[in-house]
A and B are shown apart, each in its own frame.
Chain A
């Protein structure tokens, strides 16, 4: 069970109380309901709970970050699974590595044998279908009909899959993988007589020196030596002891495990590849080296009715994918962990800590100066002729109004990082979900356009939390702590001298009965906006009552478009900007 810590300082609480009192509010007023619309069965209980106490989302996101960096990765995965309300069976360390794989394979075979045929590729079609450009109104309406039909199909059949068993199998597998290193050396005794040194020609789909090969009930297992090896077959398990290797593996049935001990490796794949748990479980652990991961959609730590986990323990790495990639989950769990190194992540849509319905998608990066880039590929034709959907970098979206969103998070522990996006992302969410970006230290650069940087949209939670460093935030609107339509959007920066630039409806803006907050605890900061009337502590009036917007700077010598040091100002019905010292 996830333990929620009260992480925030008391001073923030006290300052917030005082700020709210200046506009006739108290924290009890900051609440939403969880029954604005019919509840679908895929909504996370934590979302229901947070709607009643929205500011609890801060503690939740920070507690999740702590859990994410737990030394025991099984504990991290256990915390994630607990958000579904499932019992996690303590991951068994008994039995050999292969015994445990065999057990998991049996479980998964049973689970997926009962899978409703209607679910085949429905979710994926929805994901890749939704941003396709339409040239006419007729096409748009045909798309809407197809969309409704796909969403309806998902809603009707997705709960027939036994997610609890899948996730517990993933826990068992992860535990087995993390305990494996010594097992490798014990292989001859664990499986007497099984150790064989084969010539490369004898193992289909592998070029290089083989130290172990065997066919199990769950699939083929190969262990490559420390030279440069190439893997292209449908192996269930690949263990490579070192060297600069190349992987372009085919999918195996239900489960796949790749462990690479060292070397600068190249992983290549198309759609549904490289740690993609697509109706199955796929784990990839790369323990060392400067690696390149090149894939298309549904890849690099992606879970669709399954679990995909990619763990890279060190080195300067490059990750490239398209859609639903780099820690993405929909009706499943997708996790990408990169512990160290200066890394570059590029994607196009639904990437880098993304979650759809009943999904949890997490991207965590430990040390290093990293770049998170979203390409301008999928036009946001509903809103713009010249801006592109990103929906990434700690983002979650549901299928409104039928299916709730999930929980998408990006955690970067330290380093001077670049976050580049466009529409939706960098701690944002849409429709009964939560998206968060938590950055530890370093001087970071956040650039995006709309619905970004702590932006909750339509009954959701969007949080951007930056712990330290002199940071730069640039966006156009509905950003930098903006809650739109019964949603919470929050940008919280603890330390450093920061620059915030926006055009409108940003920097502590509440819209359509939302709550928007920009909190900066320390440093000499600059806040610039174009439209003064609806920014920097602003709440508009909708549905015959007001939205709440708070811009609060606790200390430092600061500059604002709206005011100055040791001043406060009010905008809209319940909007306040306040520089306390």
Chain B
């Protein structure tokens, strides 16, 4: 079958066209990529096409890597089995390009089917493989990946924690809220923002964030951002006015209009005065 198919379509030739970098051949490239997607979806040619594409996963070329991702994402879940079958091969060197490419594409395809094959790479020795695995688990959208993901929240590598928090932000339920809250104080901003994104998705009551405010403007920024949209009472007391401009700025971005008007009378910081004026005008229009 593969023999007859390959005799008809020169896959290498088509691949060369799909991976050209030259801007003058953009339409040729697009057409070749579409041909691959069509063949990957056609039951008659799917198997040979996907096997061929997977055989290219170890490439050093970023153009080829992106092209492969786009084609296989276009083919969709039909590729999952053939990709996962080849995942014992890391690639020709320590870079583990083949595995990382597999994880990336599986994540882009998504679905709960990828959780098991991807989950076994969350404890890989290479941080970049662990990070890619957590990202893919997040993109699976499946809460069955939570156990794998929790392991990554304490990883010593910041980028791995970022990916684990990203994954958690996508699949967490109320049960995992304490983990997301802890993420707001992570030393790495990528992790903090991912945790914030998860909390916003779950729409937690804002009061618990106010209880966390301390004399640390970075930490306060995230707890206040998490509280946005909550129905809570604010006080413009001495404690408020002694807070740093950055913390006051974060407060102004979540306060109701009436309090902003009160704050405008007392706020001395020129940048924050302008912010208040803008916010009040914006809320008035709303």
Contacts and interface: CB of A to CB of B under 8 A. Distances in A.
A33 interface: yes
A495 B200 CA distance: 43
A428 B119 CA distance: 40
B23 A567 contact: no
A140 B246 contact: no
A381 B93 CA distance: 31
A45 to B, nearest CB: 21
Contacts of B190: 544-546
Contact of A24 (B20, B127, B222, B245): B222
B16 A567 contact: no
Interface in A133-169: 134, 137-138, 140-141, 144
A573 interface: yes
Given A381-B22, A546-B190, A24 B138 contact: no
Contacts of B166: 544-545
A38 B275 CA distance: 46
A401 B60 contact: yes
B24 interface: yes
Contact of B94 (A18, A25, A38, A134): A38
Contacts of A24: 189, 192-193, 218, 221-222, 225, 250
A544 B162 CA distance: 8
B23 A140 contact: no
A385 B274 contact: no
Nearest to A380: B23
B89 interface: no
Nearest to B18: A137
Interface residues on A, range: 35 or more
Contacts of A144: 61
Interface string B255-275: 000000000000000110011
Interface in B3-29: 16-17, 20-25, 28
A38 B93 contact: yes
A21 B271 contact: no
A573 B193 contact: yes
Nearest to B188: A29
A215 to B, nearest CB: 51
Nearest to B247: A21
Nearest to B16: A141
A156 to B, nearest CB: 14
Nearest to A570: B253
Interface in A19-49: 21-26, 28-29, 33, 35-38
Contacts of A141: 16
A23 B25 CA distance: 42
Nearest to A32: B159
Contacts of B274: 566-568
A26 B218 contact: yes
A455 B210 CA distance: 40
A116 B28 CA distance: 42
A401 B59 CA distance: 11
A578 interface: yes
B23 A25 contact: no
Contact of B246 (A18, A35, A38, A402): A18
Interface string B155-195: 00001001100100000000000000000000111101110
A191 interface: no
B162 A140 contact: no
Given A21-B218, A578-B271, A140 B193 contact: no
A542 B271 CA distance: 30
B20 A140 contact: yes
Interface string A569-581: 0000110001011
B271 A567 contact: yes
Contacts of B189: 24-25, 29, 545-546, 574
Contacts of A185: none
Nearest to B169: A544
Contacts of A33: 159
Interface string A104-148: 000000000000000000000000000000100110110010000
Contacts of A382: 21-23
A382 B23 CA distance: 5
Given A137-B17, A544-B166, A384 B23 contact: yes
Contact of A137 (B25, B93, B250, B270): B25
Contacts of B20: 137, 140
Nearest to B29: A137
Contacts of B60: 401-402
Interface in A508-547: 543-546
Given A38-B94, A544-B166, A381 B193 contact: no
Contacts of B61: 144
Contacts of B127: 35
A277 to B, nearest CB: 31
B209 to A, nearest CB: 14
B116 interface: no
A28 B218 CA distance: 11
Nearest to A33: B159
Contacts of B95: 37-38
Given A18-B246, A382-B22, A568 B192 contact: no
Contacts of A25: 189, 218
B187 A28 contact: yes
B244 A21 contact: yes
Contacts of B163: 544
Interface of B: 16-17, 20-25, 28, 60-62, 93-95, 127-128, 135, 138, 159, 162-163, 166, 187-190, 192-194, 217-218, 221-222, 225, 244-246, 249-250, 270-271, 274-275
Given A18-B246, A24-B221, 12 more contacts: A24-B225, A29-B188, A37-B95, A38-B94, A38-B95, A144-B61, A382-B21, A402-B60, A544-B190, A545-B189, A566-B274, A567-B271
16 contacts: A22-B249, A24-B189, A26-B218, A35-B127, A140-B20, A385-B23, A385-B24, A544-B138, A545-B162, A545-B166, A546-B189, A546-B193, A568-B275, A573-B193, A578-B271, A581-B270
For the complex of A and B, the 4 pairs showing the least CB-CB separation, nearest first, are A21-B246, A545-B190, A24-B221, A29-B189
